[in-house]
Amino acid sequence: MSADATPLLHTPLLHTPLHALHLELGARMVPFAGYAMPVQYPAGILAEHRHCRHEAALFDVSHMGQIQLRGDGAAAALEHLVPQDIIDLAQGKQRYAFFTNAQGGLLDDLMVTRRADHLFLVVNAGCKADDTQHLVTNIGHRCTIVPMPEHALLALQGPKAVLALARLNPAVATLSFMTGGDFELAGAHCFVTRSGYTGEDGFEISVPGAQAVALARALLAQPEVKPAGLGARDTLRLEAGLCLYGHDIDTRTSPIEAGLTWAIQKVRRPGGARAGGYPGASVIEGHLTMGVSVKRVGLVGLEKVPVREGTAIVDAHGSPLGRVTSGTLGPTVHEPVAMAYLAVNHAGLQQEVYAEVRGKRLPMRVSPMPFTPHRYHR
C-alpha cells in the first residue's frame, strides 16, 4: 500500500502542557497548527469516538487560543467584528460567534463567554495569531486584549462527563448548556463552560498550564473517562453537524450559505436595533434578505464508501452540483456522512445526488444535520 506522504518538518513543533502525558498514554502524535497533538491513543479513533458517545472522553485542546477582552467598551467593540449580540450577553452565558471579512466571508469561528470582568474568547489554533492581530488592529484602542498562552484547555465530553467532573466539584452540575463559571478542580482555579464540539453534553475547562497535568490525571482516574485525540474529535463534530473552520467555512463562505443564520441574533439583523456594523455586513444582509445561491447541506451515503473532502457532487446526468467540504464514515451512525455546498435548487432534503469517487458515481441523499442527535443539557 502507498506510504504516508507527510513531509519532514524542520520547524520544531510546539507542545501543550500535556505533551509528556500524551506520550505516557501511548498517543500517536501528529503536527497540527504548529503543535504536536495526539491524533489517537492506542484504543484507536473508532473506540475513542464511541467512548465519547457512551461515557466520557477527555481531549487536550490547549492548542486553541484563549483570549480576554477587558474594559467597559469590550462588548461594543467586539460587535464591530462579529454579527453576534455581545452587549446583551449576560454574565456566565456563552455564545457561538464568527469574525467576518469585508466580502461577507468568515475569518474564524469562536466561542465568547461573559465573565465577571472580561469577555473570554476561545478561537481556533490555526487562526489564533491572525485573530489576535485582527482584534488588536481593529479594536485595540477600545479595549485591552489579553492573550492567555499559559493556560491549558481540556474538553470532557459525553453523557457521563458530568458524573465524572462532579466528583471533583459537585457544583459543576448546576451549569446548563452554554453557561460557564469559576470552579476549583483538583486544587486549580478553573473556568468551566458546559459546551463543546461533539454534540454530547460536556465541559470545556480552562486551567493554568502548571496545573493542567494534575487535573487531567484526576479526570483520567475517574472510571468513566478515557483519553481521546483529534481523530475522534473530527468524527464526533462531523456527525454532530458542526463546522470545521478552514474546511466547511472559510473566507469565501458567508454565514448564511453555511447555514449559520441562527447564530446571528435578531438585534444584529436588518431591522434590529444594532443591525450591521461588522465587516461584510452589506453582503450578509443581502444574503439574509435575498437568499443565497449555494448552501451547506448534510449528505448521507447510500453505499458504505467514505466520501471525503474535495469530492465532486453531481446530479444523475453528471452535471456538477457542488463539492464536499468534510466527510467520513460516521462511527455512530454507521453510514458515510458528509457536508457539501450545493446549488440551492438541488439542496432539498431527501434529494438524491451522486459523489464521484474513483470514477464511480455513489448515490447519496441530502440529509438534515446533525446526523446523530445533539444531547445538550439544557
Partner 1 sequence: MTTKFTADHEWIDNEHQDAAVVGITLHAQDALGDVVYVDLPEVGRSYAQGEVAGVVESVKAAADIYMPVNGEVVEVNEALRENPALANSDPMGAGWFFKLKVADTTQFDALMDPPGYDDLLKTL
- Closest separation between CB of residue 39 and partner 1, Å? 7
* Type of residue found at 352: E
Residues 344-363 binding partner 1 (CB under 8 A) are 358
Cα distance between the two ends of the chain: 47
Residues 41-100 binding partner 1 (CB under 8 A) are 44-47
Q: Can you tell me the distance from the alpha carbon of 124 to that of 332, in angstroms, rounded to the nearest whole number?
A: 25
Q: Does residue 8 bind partner 1 (CB under 8 A)?
A: no
180 or 227: CB nearest partner 1: 227
Q: Does residue 317 bind partner 1 (CB under 8 A)?
A: no
Q: Which stretch binds partner 1 (CB under 8 A): 39-47, 80-88, 196-204, 342-350?
A: 39-47
* Cell numbers found for residue 71: 474594559
12 or 359: CB nearest partner 1: 359
- Closest separation between CB of residue 10 and partner 1, Å? 19
66 or 311: CB nearest partner 1: 311
* Cell numbers found for residue 99: 469574525
| Bridge partners for 32 per DSSP | 35
- Closest separation between CB of residue 232 and partner 1, Å? 8
3-class SS string, the chain = CCCCCCCCCCCCCECCCCHHHHHHCCCEEEEECCEEEEEECCCCHHHHHHHHHHCEEEEECCCCEEEEEECCCHHHHHCCCCCCCCCCCCCCEEEEEEEECCCCCEEEEEEEEECCCEEEEEECHHHHHHHHHHHHHHHCCCCEEEECCCEEEEEEECCCHHHHHHHHCHHHHHCCCCEEEEEEECCEEEEEECCCCCCCCEEEEEEEHHHHHHHHHHHHCCCCEEECCHHHHHHHHHHCCCCCECCCECCCCCCCCCCCHHHCCHHHCCCCCCCCCCCCHHHHHHHHHHCCCEEEEEEEECCCCCCCCCCEEECCCCCEEEEEEEEEECCCCCCEEEEEEEEHHHCCCCCEEEEEECCEEEEEEEECCCCCCCCCCC
- Closest separation between CB of residue 38 and partner 1, Å? 12
Q: Does residue 17 bind partner 1 (CB under 8 A)?
A: no
Q: Which stretch binds partner 1 (CB under 8 A): 220-228, 279-287, 304-312, 316-324?
A: 304-312
Q: Which stretch binds partner 1 (CB under 8 A): 18-26, 161-169, 261-269, 298-306?
A: 298-306
Q: Can you tell me the distance from the alpha carbon of 215 to that of 199, in angstroms, rounded to the nearest whole number?
A: 23
Q: Can you tell me the distance from the alpha carbon of 149 to that of 252, in angstroms, rounded to the nearest whole number?
A: 29
Among 235, 254, 311, 372, binds partner 1 (CB under 8 A): 235
40 or 66: CB nearest partner 1: 40
Q: Does residue 331 bind partner 1 (CB under 8 A)?
A: yes
46 or 275: CB nearest partner 1: 46
Among 305, 312, 314, 333, binds partner 1 (CB under 8 A): 305
Q: Which stretch binds partner 1 (CB under 8 A): 36-44, 124-132, 162-170, 186-194?
A: 36-44
Q: Does residue 208 bind partner 1 (CB under 8 A)?
A: no
- Closest separation between CB of residue 231 and partner 1, Å? 6
1 or 273: CB nearest partner 1: 1
46 or 87: CB nearest partner 1: 46
181 or 330: CB nearest partner 1: 330
255 or 330: CB nearest partner 1: 330
Q: Does residue 25 bind partner 1 (CB under 8 A)?
A: no
Binding site for partner 1 (CB under 8 A): 1-4, 28, 39-40, 44-47, 231, 235, 304-306, 308, 328-329, 331, 358
